[in-house]
Structure 1
Amino acid sequence: MLFRRFLFTPSKITNDILQIPTHELLQQLGYVKQASSGILHWLPLGLKTLRNVEGIIRRRMNESGAHEVSLSSLSQRSLWETTGRWSNTELFKLKDAKKKDYCLVPTCEEEITWLMKHYLTSHKDLPTIAYQITRKYRDELRPRGGLLRGREFLMKDAYSFHLNSDDAVSTFENMNATYDKIFSDIGVPFVSAVADSGDIGGDLSKEYHFIHESGEDTLYQCSSCKAVSNVEKCGSYPQESNQYLGDVSVKYALNQDNDTLVCLYYPANRQFSWNLALEALDNDIEPKTKEMTNEAVLSKFTEDYDPIFNGITRVMDVRLNSRSNFPDFPLKSYLKNNFAQLNDYSIVDAEEGEICASCEEGELESAKSIEVGHTFYLGKKYSQAMNATVRQQDNSDVVMEMGCYGIGVSRLVGAIAQVTRDEKGLKWPSSVSPYKVSLCANEKSLEQLEEVRTHLQLEPFTQFDAKATIGARIQQSHSLGIPIAIIVGPKSWPNVEMEVRADFKSNNWETDYKKLHTELKWEYNPESQKHFVHNTKVNDVANILLKDL
């Protein structure tokens, strides 16, 4: 049968369905089905969309020279203990019949390093990039947003190996260029931002985001230098320094030698930034003290405290002044000669309207966003721990430098749906849509519809309820997010009508229209924004339009 209702979609789509949250809408329209919190099953429409996204990523990764692999989802405990990450509370852990411990991988730095060190033996083998598109697992305490934050997800993770840091940074920059191509191919506006490396580690990090009010992340852009960074890496200065008169909070830390108490003072009504504190002290802070309470830091410092040999460094946020309400200092004895103070550093999260710390000229503008990709320069964090070395030209061994590059593929599907949808339903860009076009007609026009199909090389969506009216079929096509609905009816025959659902990324089609509309028997009505074309030319016109959608 030409028209037979798609098994997983509703026979009728109501306005109530079209107003529900995106993760519920994807279920109602037959893209995915949630089995339990954070766990979803992919249905045919969703799977076609997911594979289209995969295809874009895979093509660009292959162009970059990366090797595609597929690692096991099971990873043994010993590897994660080697890198100190077995204690991660978001790991799904399990035992086999012999009581040996494993985890379901959330990311594969350990496994890929173990694998590649068996094949990378000489400097001649470098640089090398390996990537995979596989399922990952994270024991999220509070999964939310459907595809945006789940316990099981599809991820593209790539890893690069290098002889030295210069080569690693070069590949980091090249991979960011590859990411620019990937997200440009997808066709949804995106921004890239300087970011924090988080638990992955490393010295350089960049995030890719879709700007949207529903996002959990906050980005800042400078009105002058246009630099974009996430809140964790954004430095800012107040419009006027040293004006804060309220209560002051303090975060205690130790330097890396553990012989100096670091006292970080900041306004109590602001959020302390560990990253900016690190910058202020040239990274000379003991990492373990980040998660320690002030009481625990003071206890550790005073275990062997000697006023003669131990120092104290106070760091003052630029917003404070001498009249601010400081807390009491915890130590009763210290030598002034061992006491240092650093003034006018910004050590709190930025806020909109403050001055950009990068150029010190423009003001910061904020926007909510959804993160869809992340790149890292790792340095030797994993290769050092796992003794991943290669032989240099002088026959000495050196630990390899590494980078890693991730895209949440299933998350990306959810994010695209979220940022492009409107009151009529989903609105996929043509690059990822499960179908590029639909064929809509009533039962009286089946013969004409079959003739259109003979001219159409694109696979059309026709799985409508046999009892549905042509209007209901058009509505369903639009709600599913199919970029173009081709409408066949007796009034316009032998011409067919084309309604464009997707957003235009450019207007290049207008140039083609001016040149080819006579040859292609193509008419455009700017008032209704509908296209009319002879049925024998429908494939040509559809392809012209799809290039811009």
Structure 2
Amino acid sequence: MFRLYTAKTRNSSYIQTSVSCPKSWTRSLKNSQVTPSKLSKLFLPSGNKAAASGERESTTDLLARAGFIRKSSAGVFSLLPLGALVQRKLAAIIHRNMYYAGASEVSLPSLLTPTAWKATGRYENSELYKLKDSSESEFLLAPTHEEEITSLVAKDVSSFKQLPLRLYQIGRKYRDERRPRGGMLRGREFLMLDLYSFDSTTESALETYKDIRAAYKSIFDSIGVKYVISEADSGSIGGDLSHEYHYVSSAGEDTLVVCGSCGYTANNEVAVSYPSHDHAPDADSVAVTYGLTKDGILLVMYHPPDRVVNYNIIKKEIPTYDSSIKDPVTAFTKDVDPMLQRIIRVYDERVPEQASLPDLPVTVNIGNITTVRFPCVEVALKSHPRELCPVCEDVLDEERAIEVGHTFYLGKKYSEPLKATFTDKDGSRKFMEMGCFGIGMSRIISAITEVTRDQKGLVWPVSVCPYEVVIVPKPNSDKIDNLAVKIFTSLREIGCEVVVDDRDKSFAWKLGDAKFLGFPVSVVIGNQFLQSGEVHVESRRTGKVETCTPEEVAARVAYLLKSERTKLI
């Protein structure tokens, strides 16, 4: 076995992940003299020069200037060697945690036929890349793989004895973004982890959902960047339960509603709030909005005129709500006597019980009217500040964030139209219960950069950095060059990923570039070694510089890396 990388989570011991390789490789590595890894041997078109003055440099431009990525076209990027190293380390963290979660790796095609997509009703999605081959057969480029994996499992899984099943891949996705923006944060082609679960019962599926959420926590803890988990809308993926994983950043497209007291966090698409303590309800000013359920019940929703009904909340409280009905009142009265129909009156918490309400649009039997009360409008803290948390009733706040992961409990949304069934213990045929779970690999590289960067450049967490340590020797000194090799060897012996900056640049330029590229630790061998026999060991994140002898370098570096691994930055 050949050691691929090392990592340490916050709550675990030092972990070594391995991959298989030919024994001859191992023998030759053990028997040969260690040759230092050198930046001069990498394709690294880094430009350690000041960004244009004025506006803050975009993260995409910063990564490009640092030689991690190159733009191919709008929303499409190439990863250069340093970027590929970061991506590989992210993948290694994910593979390890998928293994612990009991998931098996698959590799699904990117070129799909539309049959399953038409069965689920998603083929008309405007973000699909659709194409035809030379024989006019229809295909699409996979934006996600729910249909493909469900069709695959439906053919090969037939018994409860084969469940539960957890399958994952790290693969490319394609979406026809009309306005790709934010660099790799919203691209047309991107790399993604997608995991799909299949269970025999709702209870088992929810247990799987809990297990994968625990795996996600381990993944994001291992990466080492502070994150938040929020309640979320399932969107076009569908399902009844959903959570998002975010890095808080002003560059994010999502708005989170948060409570600093109890930790309540929700995407504003599903967030709930109660009126502030100084809210003065107006009993004479009430607006009404109508909706219809799938079983023909008219929803009459009362709310303040300056607020908008949040239909995601309505769907959560009244699961049979049908958002596809454009004219609920007309549909309610069509072909049926309203006196025989049911109405649910929904009062937003901001509407007083004794409010003067608009007349109902139809006449119904009073015994067929049900009244419920819950917060049903969108949270709007800019125009309505100091609204209250639904959990602890403290004041809510909001912050921008970048979504980097999402978990969905799907239920039978895909198994029913695609006929993914199994024979249960009692001999009956039942539909599988499903979940799907995603992490944007391309997006997370850009997101990490956005939230950790500083004025000097990139600041990579140890877990995903291209190299943990860079040795920067002053040029034109055989004594310094020999010491650089010795320090490189000593660091390799304790398991460090180390590289020597031997590029044909000035010493000052290379010192700046070490910071710019974001290596967690720099070992600097300069004039002080020639004068007093000492070298500098510098932490990129803290900027702290320690002076030590060459013999002490390995211990100092090991301590710095260990302390960095135990922190979320």
Q: Which residue of 1 aligns with 2:438?
A: 406
Deviations 1:157-200 (A, max 9, x none): 00111111111111110111110100000000111122221221
Q: Which residue of 2 aligns with 1:308?
A: 339
Q: Secondary structure at the match of 1:424?
A: coil
Q: Secondary structure at the match of 2:463?
A: coil
Say whether 1:297 aligns with 2:328. Answer: yes
| 2-structure distance, mates of 1:16, 1:358 | 47
The one of 370, 375, 383 equivalent to 2:402 is 370
Shift of 1:306: 2.9
Query: 1:195-210 maps to which residues of 2 (within 5 A)?
Result: 195-210=232-247
Aligned CA-pair RMSD: 2.6
| 2-structure distance, mates of 1:255, 1:134 | 38
Q: Is the CA contact 1:122–1:390 (under 8 Å) kept in the aligned structure 2? A: yes
Letter matched to residue 314 of structure 1? R
Q: Which residue of 2 aligns with 1:257?
A: 295
Query: 1:190-269 maps to which residues of 2 (within 5 A)?
Result: 190-240=227-277, 243-244=281-282, 248-258=286-296, 260-269=297-306
| 1-structure distance, mates of 2:247, 2:135 | 46
Q: Is the CA contact 1:251–1:264 (under 8 Å) kept in the aligned structure 2? A: yes
Say whether 1:78 aligns with 2:128. Answer: no
Letter matched to residue 300 of structure 1? A
Say whether 1:66 aligns with 2:103. Answer: yes
Say whether 1:163 aligns with 2:200. Answer: yes
Q: Is the CA contact 2:168–2:193 (under 8 Å) kept in the aligned structure 1? A: yes
Q: Which residue of 1 aligns with 2:24?
A: none
Q: Is the CA contact 2:48–2:65 (under 8 Å) kept in the aligned structure 1? A: no
Q: Secondary structure at the match of 1:56?
A: helix
Q: Secondary structure at the match of 1:239?
A: coil
- Comparing 395-404 with 185-194, which one deviates more in the overlay? 395-404
Deviations 1:407-442 (A, max 9, x none): 001111110000000111110101111111112122
The 1:338–1:24 alpha-carbon spacing in structure 2 relative to 1, beyond 3 Å, is farther
Q: Secondary structure at the match of 1:238?
A: coil
Say whether 1:460 aligns with 2:498. Answer: yes
Letter matched to residue 117 of structure 1? A
The 1:495–1:112 alpha-carbon spacing in structure 2 relative to 1, beyond 3 Å, is same
| 2-structure distance, mates of 1:288, 1:52 | 44
The one of 10, 26, 35 equivalent to 2:72 is 35
Q: Which residue of 2 aligns with 1:337?
A: 366
Q: Is the CA contact 1:270–1:349 (under 8 Å) kept in the aligned structure 2? A: yes
| 1-structure distance, mates of 2:389, 2:350 | 15
| 2-structure distance, mates of 1:210, 1:166 | 31
Q: Normalising to structure 2: TM-score of the pair?
A: 0.84
Q: Secondary structure at the match of 2:527?
A: coil
Letter matched to residue 331 of structure 2? K
Shift of 1:341: 6.2
Q: Which residue of 2 aligns with 1:509?
A: none
The 1:77–1:8 alpha-carbon spacing in structure 2 relative to 1, beyond 3 Å, is same
Q: Is the CA contact 2:163–2:200 (under 8 Å) kept in the aligned structure 1? A: yes
Q: Which residue of 1 aligns with 2:540?
A: 501
Shift of 1:446: 4.7
Deviations 1:84-109 (A, max 9, x none): 11111111111122222111111111
Shift of 1:232: 2.3
Q: Which residue of 1 aligns with 2:460?
A: 428
Q: Normalising to structure 1: TM-score of the pair?
A: 0.87
Q: Which residue of 1 aligns with 2:555?
A: 540
| 1-structure distance, mates of 2:517, 2:244 | 30
Q: Which residue of 2 aligns with 1:515?
A: none
| 1-structure distance, mates of 2:245, 2:38 | 42
The 1:329–1:477 alpha-carbon spacing in structure 2 relative to 1, beyond 3 Å, is farther
Q: Secondary structure at the match of 2:229?
A: strand
| 1-structure distance, mates of 2:136, 2:232 | 40
Runs of 4+ with deviation above 6 angstroms: 322-326
Letter matched to residue 257 of structure 1? D
The 1:242–1:490 alpha-carbon spacing in structure 2 relative to 1, beyond 3 Å, is closer
Query: 1:469-508 maps to which residues of 2 (within 5 A)?
Result: 469-493=506-530, 494-502=533-541
The one of 45, 59, 70 equivalent to 1:22 is 59
Q: Secondary structure at the match of 1:404?
A: strand
Name stretches of at least 5 consecutive residues in structure 1 with no aligned partner. Answer: 504-527
The 1:131–1:318 alpha-carbon spacing in structure 2 relative to 1, beyond 3 Å, is same
| 2-structure distance, mates of 1:71, 1:325 | 58
Shift of 1:460: 3.4
Q: Which residue of 1 aligns with 2:419?
A: 387
Q: Which residue of 1 aligns with 2:451?
A: 419
Q: Which residue of 2 aligns with 1:521?
A: none
Q: Is the CA contact 1:439–1:449 (under 8 Å) kept in the aligned structure 2? A: no
Q: Which residue of 1 aligns with 2:4?
A: none
Letter matched to residue 200 of structure 1? I
Q: Secondary structure at the match of 1:382?
A: coil
| 2-structure distance, mates of 1:312, 1:303 | 15
Q: Which residue of 1 aligns with 2:163?
A: 126
Letter matched to residue 340 of structure 2? F
| 1-structure distance, mates of 2:285, 2:478 | 76
Q: Is the CA contact 2:471–2:501 (under 8 Å) kept in the aligned structure 1? A: no
| 2-structure distance, mates of 1:446, 1:103 | 59
Q: Which residue of 1 aligns with 2:26?
A: none
| 1-structure distance, mates of 2:305, 2:513 | 53
Shift of 1:64: 1.5
| 2-structure distance, mates of 1:396, 1:324 | 52
| 2-structure distance, mates of 1:242, 1:337 | 30
| 1-structure distance, mates of 2:399, 2:47 | 39
- Comparing 437-446 with 13-22, which one deviates more in the overlay? 13-22
Q: Is the CA contact 1:196–1:233 (under 8 Å) kept in the aligned structure 2? A: yes
Query: 1:273-292 maps to which residues of 2 (within 5 A)?
Result: 273-280=310-317, 282-289=318-325, 292=326
Letter matched to residue 320 of structure 2? D
| 2-structure distance, mates of 1:5, 1:11 | 16
Q: Which residue of 1 aligns with 2:389?
A: 356
| 2-structure distance, mates of 1:197, 1:268 | 28
| 1-structure distance, mates of 2:84, 2:38 | 22
Q: Is the CA contact 2:142–2:174 (under 8 Å) kept in the aligned structure 1? A: yes
| 2-structure distance, mates of 1:84, 1:534 | 67
Shift of 1:242: 6.0
Say whether 1:439 aligns with 2:471. Answer: yes
The 1:335–1:91 alpha-carbon spacing in structure 2 relative to 1, beyond 3 Å, is same
The one of 407, 428, 432 equivalent to 1:396 is 428
Shift of 1:484: 1.1
The 1:225–1:36 alpha-carbon spacing in structure 2 relative to 1, beyond 3 Å, is same
Q: Secondary structure at the match of 1:51?
A: helix
Say whether 1:531 aligns with 2:558. Answer: no
Deviations 1:299-353 (A, max 9, x none): 4334335332234443232213489897x6683x524626736364211122352
Letter matched to residue 153 of structure 1? F
Q: Is the CA contact 1:235–1:358 (under 8 Å) kept in the aligned structure 2? A: no
Q: Secondary structure at the match of 2:52?
A: helix
Shift of 1:286: 1.8
| 1-structure distance, mates of 2:359, 2:180 | 42
- Comparing 6-15 with 215-224, which one deviates more in the overlay? 6-15
Q: Which residue of 1 aligns with 2:22?
A: none
- Comparing 175-184 with 539-548, which one deviates more in the overlay? 539-548
| 1-structure distance, mates of 2:336, 2:430 | 40
- Comparing 392-401 with 128-137, which one deviates more in the overlay? 392-401
| 1-structure distance, mates of 2:61, 2:46 | 13
| 1-structure distance, mates of 2:219, 2:39 | 36
| 1-structure distance, mates of 2:368, 2:423 | 47
